[in-house]
Amino acid sequence: MAQPLELRARALHSLLETDPAAKTAEVAALCAAHARGATGLAPDAALAAPAGIPGRPARPELVPPRLVGRRSMATPEGRAMLVHALAHIEFNAVNLALDAVWRFPGMPPAYYGDWLRVAGEEARHFEMLCAHLATLGFAYGDFPGHDSLWEMVGKTSGDVLARMALVPRTLEARGLDAIPPLRAKLAQAGDLAAAAILDVLLRDEVGHVEIGNRWYLYLCGLRGLEPVSTYEALTVRYGAPVLKGPFNIEARRQAGFSEAELARFA
């Protein structure tokens, strides 16, 4: 019988891959191997962090968020800039899901399966957006991007509780709020294909944020911590951005935010 693939080591290998097409193909292959039971976990094994994390291509150029550029829906190029920005977010999301798989030993097996599933879905989102970008006459890398999402991944690399609190349930949850108005703009501009892609993104992102919420609550219970006050303390300690509305309350409810948290958002 073939030796099972070590899931966390393979996730790290995929994370280090710099070519987007090769990375998404590797993620798809790893998801398929996991689905057929061909992966395993080395018990509580800590893996050394190599140089080159995360693997990404030379383009797009990474700039401060204020320099990414304005996105007018009035022209194909303006819509392409928006689609490119979304593709860049999804590419980063593939990397952060892979990082969540390999970096933190000692979690239950379901944790690794959950984040591998997220990596696979984010990879499909990236491919969908890149395919649509090509219909507009552009490719991933043609516009600049920023690195805000990965900066918080780096800050929380030493604590899985902080990672779950501040990446999926803070930064990624902002997508639940941002996608509906972006979808409306694209539909109003006549780009119904892009609007349909955003419908898929919103549906899946609810599930991704729910995974972050679920494992955050699990870790709080494991450590005997009160979730709401712990979250507030973590946002201060790690310099998380202050969230501003409007908020997609129903999507956040579906993603597992408590009614006490939702009342604060409202």
What is the tens place of the pLDDT at every residue in 160-182?
999 999 999 999 999 999 999 99
Q: Residue 41's pLDDT is what?
A: 86
Region at 97 (left for phi over 0; alpha for psi -120 to 50; beta for the rest): alpha
Q: Residue 101's pLDDT is what?
A: 96
64-77 per-position pLDDT tens digit: 877 776 777 888 89
Are β-strands 39-40 and 5-6 bridged in parallel, bridged antiparallel, or unpaired?
parallel
126-153 per-position pLDDT tens digit: 999 999 999 999 999 999 998 888 999 9
Arch. (CATH architecture) of 5-40+55-265: Up-down Bundle (1.20)
Percent of the chain with pLDDT over 90: 81
pTM of the model: 0.95
Provide long-range contacts, Cβ within 8 A and 24+ apart, for 22-25.
Answer: 23/55, 23/94, 23/123, 24/94, 24/123, 24/124, 24/126, 24/127
Name the strand (E) or helix (H) holding 161: helix 160-166
Q: Mean pLDDT across the chain, nearest whole number?
A: 93
Q: Residue 57's pLDDT is what?
A: 96
Ordered by start, the domain boundaries in the chain are 5-40+55-265
Percent of the chain with pLDDT over 70: 97
* Residue showing tokens 């006459």: 137
